[in-house]
Structure 1
């Protein structure tokens, strides 16, 4: 295959179904349960009007896909992105089901969002859009039914607007009981200390555990990051603090490189006021985005969108570790190439599970009327992440398989056990 040959990308839904079917065959999944897990429970599409700052009305499309709730309430993020559609939401919801199961949480999987480029709207418009989405979703979300969280282009402020709107639809006596309808809220409105860094910390911690299992350390390890939002920033921050060097960062607007290392904090200060764009940063040179994945480094962290590592670029990767900070960043064809080249993939449902674990802690905190300090949160998070990592590592060693297959076997087997023990409603 010539390097210039472009191969058609699989959709994220194609990728997740290939992964699911492969695992189902490996574990001889009960065929009836396979039928259930192979489809979503609910696919909700809402269209709603919002008045813009100039007085004009725009109509937006929102999605919420609920894949499975055998283990507990649906859980998953809301993203604001022009590419989101129901097929992507189905794939992302299914990955959330596997992720929460692998982490041993009492949750199922969901995902959703709005087809929108948030950069084109003012903060006041985004608030009205978010509140109107919440109202349109109505009882399709709820603290014991479906609990959204931040995702691509959404944040703590977005969650605060959702919580306030949802609580406002309840009787006064019930409002305080619905604060945990979302997680990832600001600390001042019931959010969890440390939730902002939980996903990135999980990425860092997974890499650290894998490296140390090889009798190595992170000191002087080099890494590159695709996406410098919440996950990319915090993962980079923790890695650099542990002695690693950030060589390159890529987002939708620019690809930066500095052989002497990029300052994580300086880049963050540059990008934050610019709504996340790294372009124009003077602490690194811009380079051809096509060459990003081929850079000489030890670790690649795709922390942006899905299907970024494919047959068109996987062969370029020289790193020994790909740590999936994003959901579904590697498609099936790309994964085959990476594994053939001896590259270890820390799969998304393990690597970025710190976020949903942190969300679970926030949900518990709200439900129980408690307040946890940062040290307590990080201690609980590290303990949980270590347990999950060791479980997957044990399956890798026992089955002599790759990390994604091992993680999927654990996750899907847990759901199968729940169905077998509980039975299926006739």
Structure 2
């Protein structure tokens, strides 16, 4: 019902949906590189789409039926990889769009993964922890053998976390025979460290956002010290990106989340806000060291860097004109729609695209998967060093194409990702 209402709302307002957005980005990049038309036919559709309806008994004894999704876009480069989100906006089109973005993201990063995405159409705030555990376990059971450590590896996303992954892991392993269980630890990534997770996975995405900003600043001879930045969404990604930027001397001046917007032009202490949120239902509203800001004024604030790290389609043609930032660093997936990007580029605003900017998460997931697969345990310093090296390589490749072809960073990133997939198909051929 929510998904249908969202589609009708988009039709009435003319607002770009995520699937339309990613397809326009794909087509633009494909045109720019002259993608083989046969390969184009393959990449513009998904491989598999799973929709499951499953019943769960609530704390009060009543039964509710939930709808879950898993879309597997492409696995030409390796097993499907992508997060599971719990949110009312989850529907088949959102899963398709996010799965495609994951394919481009893993390809750009040079990982042996494909792309997938999914989740449950649910507002987790309305359910107890015990109910969320039962919902997660029942969803995992419904997915069955459509996920697996060498087939499709889920990870955390919006409103899911390490605990969610631990429930999925335990449920999945419980369906296997005793002699198979030890070889299935890497069926999910983003697990708690004690349950086979990797050191540094919690901060990998936010650290990657920070690194991309740092690399971009160095490329443009900009000193980050004293630079002002704003963040939409202060979850795992927004917090860690802010913390590392603060250590670099940058100043967080405003934050927006579902509870509202706050501002302090002299600076919001990152760890103080994080601690406050832990005791305030993870909401920024009411933080004593900042003032209330009207939501519609957030993106128009006078700042140097804007980090959208919440949901998709937050920067549109309705608010793009007001943006004063020099740089948009996309911590979320698809936060800037196509019309808004055109406006921003014409204004001279740089955009580090999501498939590069937030790829630290999937790179960290790859490291966790690799450690589980090989029976290794890496120290935090080793993980962060490898992550920085991998992201520097990706960023450098994107900037070379951006400069050589005089194009924008998104087109460059998409081109690199798609060409890697094209090469794989051309070398392997099409069965039979």
TM-score bracket, shorter-length normalisation: over 0.9
Change (3 A) 1:254 1:401: same
2:405 corresponds to which residue?
Answer: 399
1:168 corresponds to which residue?
Answer: 174
Structure 1 residue 325 corresponds to structure 2 residue 336:
no
Q: Give the number of aligned pairs.
A: 421
Question: Which of these residues, 250, 253, 262, is aligned with residue 259 of structure 2?
Answer: 253
2:195 corresponds to which residue?
Answer: 189
**1:26-425 alignment, distance < 5 Å:** 26-425=32-431
User: Within 2, Cα distance between the matches of 1:46 and 1:7?
Assistant: 30
TM-score (norm 1): 0.98
The question of whether the paired residues in 2 share the 8 Å contact of 1:314 and 1:338 is answered with yes
SS in 2 for 1:104: coil
SS in 1 for 2:149: coil
CA-to-aligned-CA distance 1:248-287 (integer Å, 9 cap, x gap): 0000111000011111111111112434211121111111
User: Within 1, Cα distance between the matches of 2:107 and 2:363?
Assistant: 11
SS in 2 for 1:50: strand
User: Within 1, Cα distance between the matches of 2:325 and 2:195?
Assistant: 42
For residue 216 of structure 1, report the CA deviation from its aligned partner: 1.8
The question of whether the paired residues in 2 share the 8 Å contact of 1:301 and 1:324 is answered with yes
SS in 2 for 1:143: coil
Structure 2's unaligned 5+ residue stretches are 1-11
User: Within 2, Cα distance between the matches of 1:91 and 1:199?
Assistant: 19
For residue 302 of structure 1, report the CA deviation from its aligned partner: 0.3
CA-to-aligned-CA distance 1:189-230 (integer Å, 9 cap, x gap): 000000000000000000001011111221001000000110
User: Within 1, Cα distance between the matches of 2:277 and 2:93?
Assistant: 31
For residue 7 of structure 1, report the CA deviation from its aligned partner: 5.9
The question of whether the paired residues in 2 share the 8 Å contact of 1:119 and 1:275 is answered with no
User: Within 2, Cα distance between the matches of 1:273 and 1:35?
Assistant: 50
User: Within 1, Cα distance between the matches of 2:13 and 2:416?
Assistant: 32
User: Within 1, Cα distance between the matches of 2:188 and 2:339?
Assistant: 35
TM-score (norm 2): 0.97
For residue 362 of structure 1, report the CA deviation from its aligned partner: 0.1
Computed over aligned residues only, the root mean square deviation of the Cα atoms, in angstroms, reads 0.9
1:14 corresponds to which residue?
Answer: 20
- Structure 1 stretches of 4+ with a deviation exceeding 4 A read none
User: Within 2, Cα distance between the matches of 1:285 and 1:215?
Assistant: 33
